[in-house]
Amino acid sequence: MSTTKGLEGIVATTSSVSSIIDGVLTYNGYNIDDLADYATFEEVVYLLWYHKLPTKEELESFTKELNGYSAVPSEVLEQLKTYPIDKVHPMAALRTAVSNLALFDEDADEMSEEANRKKAMKLQAQMPTIVTAFARIREGKEPIAPKPELSYAANFLYMLDGEEPDETSIEAFNKALVLHADHELNASTFTARVCVATLSDVYSGVTAAIGALKGPLHGGANERVMAMLSEIGDEDKVEEYIHKALENKEKIMGFGHRVYKDGDPRAKHLKEMSRQLTKITGESKWYEMSVKIDEIVTSEKGLLPNVDFYSASVYHSLGIEHDLFTPIFAVSRVSGWLAHILEQYDNNRLIRPRAEYVGPDKQAWVPIDKR
Ligand SMILES: CC(=O)SCCNC(=O)CCNC(=O)[C@H](O)C(C)(C)COP(=O)(O)OP(=O)(O)OC[C@H]1O[C@@H](n2cnc3c(N)ncnc32)[C@H](O)[C@@H]1OP(=O)(O)O
Ligand SMILES: O=C([O-])CC(=O)C(=O)O
């Protein structure tokens, strides 16, 4: 048996949801650069789930159906209030609440394609409601009900702040959602597929995926990028901080990637958004610091920024609390998880690789009082 640490380079499934070929990311054959510039997030969700861009009518009816599911069962909202809110990370709250949603869906274990697509709709619609409700509850505020007439991006910002956002914020947030929606067989998507390949239910797959996204080597990196920027605090201190971190062999959050070695195609969009938004907020220092970190890490380690690096200053500029960055990633990525879950059910086989055993052999049993 031979092993490949971290399954690097192993092709574990076929998929027609998204691809990374020669450093180019496409969703169902559409280049991410075009989608980032032109698509609404709702169109992207449709594309990922139905493998085609919707017509105007299809998009209207899809959006209407999605919006119709955005209210979360009151039991789930009430239980959010019982979490130890001053200690709980919003990703842990989201993981628990999504698992909890299954308890209030009588079709949670119904496995027909129709039932699974309906659950996909519910999860996509309800995750923003949960994240924003939790963010408000912990500030002692009441959750705000979604407005069905607002877009997915606008609704999230509205439910967070209670005020309808301006066009610039909606556009930026929509673009961030589009850029994070899917990414081939990343760790959380693989987790979702492994889970549902046992023929477990959609809620279990998404709950498992949230757990995987939470880690700092994956989606959890964006919050840590902002923590690093805040800790450095000033452009003058970047050089010393980064050199010291590299000398200590620390990982610089938001850099490096398992698949992209010549750069993450999403990063340039987020970099430009960071430049524009920090200018608007009068806090260009976050952008300037980020660019300086980027220059040093790239020239000294040959590592390029990934999707998590510039997204940190983008979300900060939109006034979003730093520990909500990863839940926002989840609110977008659930579209990809669901596409992969549906694809997995459609052509399922249990995912069960092997491990090369490297432990001791031929051990003689020792009774407990002789150990
Ligand atoms: C949405 C996403 O999930 S994007 C990724 C988000 N994660 C991060 O930004 C966390 C920081 N980055 C990393 O930890 C890694 O680059 C990963 C997890 C993204 C990719 O990991 P892998 O493909 O396993 O690369 P691995 O961790 O083996 O790194 C290879 C070498 O580069 C170094 N390296 C990789 N990333 C970084 C980094 N961000 N900072 C400093 N050194 C790094 C490693 O220390 C290692 O060095 P070594 O060979 O001297 O031991
Ligand atoms: O693909 C990966 O390994 C991580 C990543 O960039 C993502 O999930 O967006």
The ligand with the least distance to the CA atom of 180 is 2
Give the residue, by CA position, lying nearest to ligand 1 atom 5. Answer: 218
The sign one gets for the Cα dihedral 317, 318, 323, 325 is: negative
Instruction: Supply the residue whose CA is at minimum distance from atom 8 of ligand 2.
Output: 186
- pLDDT of res. 106: 96
- pLDDT at residue 1 greater than cutoff 80: no
Query: Which residues are near ligand 2 (CB < 6 Å)?
Result: 183, 186, 257-259, 306-307
Question: Domains (ranges, CATH) in the chain?
Answer: 30-215+323-346 (1.10.580.10), 221-317 (1.10.230.10)
| Closest residue by Cα to residue 172 from 283, 270, 47, 310 | 270
Q: Is 257 a catalytic residue?
A: yes
User: Measured from the CA of 187, which atom of ligand 2 is nearest?
Assistant: 3
Per-residue CA distances from 310 to 1, 91, 319 (Å): 41, 20, 15
Averaged pLDDT for residues 182-187: 98
Which ligand lies nearest the alpha carbon of 189?
2
Ligand 1 in reach of 261 Cβ (< 6 A): no
CB of residue 301 inside a 6 A radius of ligand 1? yes
Q: What percent of the chain has pLDDT over 90?
A: 98
Residues 228-238: pLDDT tens digits?
A: 999 999 999 99
| Structure-token pair, residue 167 | 């066009």
Predicted local confidence at residue 144, as pLDDT:
95
- Give the closest residue (by CA) to ligand 1 atom 47: 249
Q: Tell me the CA–centroid distance for residue 314 and ligand 2, in Å.
A: 18
Tokens of 193: 């597929």
Three-state DSSP class for 266? coil
What would the mean pLDDT of 213-218 be, rounded to a whole number?
A: 98
Band (pLDDT 50/70/90 cuts) for residue 351 is very high
111, 135 in Cβ contact below 8 A?
Answer: no
Tokens representing 307 are: 């999707």
CB of 302 closer than 6 A to ligand 1? no
Which pLDDT value is given to residue 304?
98
pTM for the whole structure: 0.98
Cα(242)–Cα(248) distance, rounded to whole angstroms?
Answer: 10
The mean predicted confidence, pLDDT, of the chain is 97
Answer whether residue 201 shows pLDDT above 80. Answer: yes
ipTM of this model?
0.99
Asked whether the CA dihedral 211, 215, 217, 222 is positive or negative, the reply is: positive
Model confidence pLDDT, tens digit, residues 111-142:
999 999 999 999 999 999 999 999 999 999 99
What separation in Å is there between the alpha carbon of 258 and the centre of ligand 1? 7
User: What does the DSSP assignment read for 60-119?
Assistant: HHHHHHHHHT-SPPHHHHHHHTTS-TTT--HHHHHHHHHHHHHHT-TTTT--SHHHHHHH
- According to the model, what pLDDT value does residue 314 have? 98
Q: Is 218 noted as a catalytic residue in this protein?
A: no
pLDDT value of position 85: 86
- What pLDDT was estimated at residue 148? 84
Mean pLDDT over 185-194 rounds to 98
21-74 pLDDT, tens digit each: 999 999 999 999 999 999 999 999 999 999 999 999 999 999 999 999 999 999
Q: 154 with 162: CB under 8 angstroms?
A: no
